[in-house]
Amino acid sequence: MNAHVTRSGNSDVVNAMTVDVEDYFQVSAFEGYVEKSQWQTLPRRVEDNTRRILDLFAAEQVHATFFTLGWVAERYPQLVKDIVKGGHEIASHGWEHIRVNTQTPEEFRGDIERTRKLLQDISGEPVLGYRAASYSIGAAESWAWEQLADAGHRYSSSIVPIRHDLYGIPGAPRFAFDTADGRLLEIPITTVSLAGRNINCGGGGWFRLFPYSFSRWALSRVNTLEQESAIFYFHPWEIDPAQPRPDGVGLKTRFRHYLNLNRTYGRLERLLKHFRWGRMDEVFLPGETTR
């Protein structure tokens, strides 16, 4: 189907495509504007948006990893089953998008165990992966890796090796590294190194902020010059420019959340064609895939 497309970078390198399955009102940036007690009453768009993503992946013959909130899975179990039916990997995004750096180790352990059990019960598949809300495993939360390994996870994708006002471990390795005495693989979001500084090229708001040409160049550089697999992530709400808008949201938050939502879907179509993509478990744990 895509034989006419010229792929970027090293065509032998398979990158990991990931989706953080959460609704527009559950993002960390809206914590001060939308109370959790309101979640039940707000219009939900996560199911329809995720199904649109599933259709896009099916059209491009791409398999991906869906880091799914327990809150979403509990309300849309058929969506979880359909994700697995489509050949994709189910992984954990925690229960209610609570940042790790706001939890005690005991609270965190309860959260990840509850979420993993539900996702496994619904999907019928082992849940190997975890991604922290807002990449909130920082230098002070290294204890979380031990907790994840103890709970049965094999990998985490919960840090970004950049300097940012909300997250990031600037001195962390840019590519996958062992933690928890070798029991857990941490797989950072992909960055490109420019003039001694790491620049995020792995998706999310950065994918909407920078021109598409930058993302294509940067990922190609990672594949070709560094011979490394990249990770790309996005959210279902990022392909939904018509989503409801909470009242009172500050200018900086509005800019980050709503910038170029109308362009994301088209950019994703191009990205899927320009690179090779697979699931996290197949790219980074090839001997432990569930299929």
pLDDT in tens, 157-214: 999 987 655 555 778 899 999 999 999 999 999 999 988 889 999 999 889 999 999 9
Where residue 168 falls (left for φ over 0; alpha for ψ -120 to 50; beta otherwise) is left
- In percent, the amount of the chain with pLDDT more than 70 equals 93
- With H, G, I as helix, E, B as strand and everything else as coil, classify residue 103: coil
Q: What is the pLDDT of residue 253?
A: 87
Q: Is the pLDDT of residue 13 over 90?
A: yes
Give the pTM.
0.94
Q: What is the pLDDT of residue 184?
A: 98
Q: Is the pLDDT of residue 9 over 80?
A: no
Q: What is the rounded average pLDDT of the residues 42-56?
A: 98
- Give tens-digit pLDDT for 118-146: 999 999 999 999 999 999 998 899 999 99
Q: What is the pLDDT of residue 4?
A: 36
Q: What band does 2 get if pLDDT is binned at 50, 70 and 90?
A: very low
For the chain, give the number of residues: 291
Of the candidates 67, 69, 136, 73, which has an alpha carbon nearest to the alpha carbon of residue 103?
A: 136
Where residue 180 falls (left for φ over 0; alpha for ψ -120 to 50; beta otherwise) is left
Q: Is the pLDDT of residue 11 over 70?
A: no
> Where is 110: in which H helix or E strand?
helix 105-123
User: How is the chain split into domains, by residue range?
Assistant: 14-284
Mean pLDDT for all residues in the chain:
92
Q: How many CB atoms lie within 10 A of CB 223?
A: 24
For helices 212-224 and 261-274, the axis angle rounded to 10 degrees is 30
Q: What band does 56 get if pLDDT is binned at 50, 70 and 90?
A: very high
Name the class of domain 14-284.
alpha beta
- Strands in 74-151 per DSSP E: 89-92, 129-130
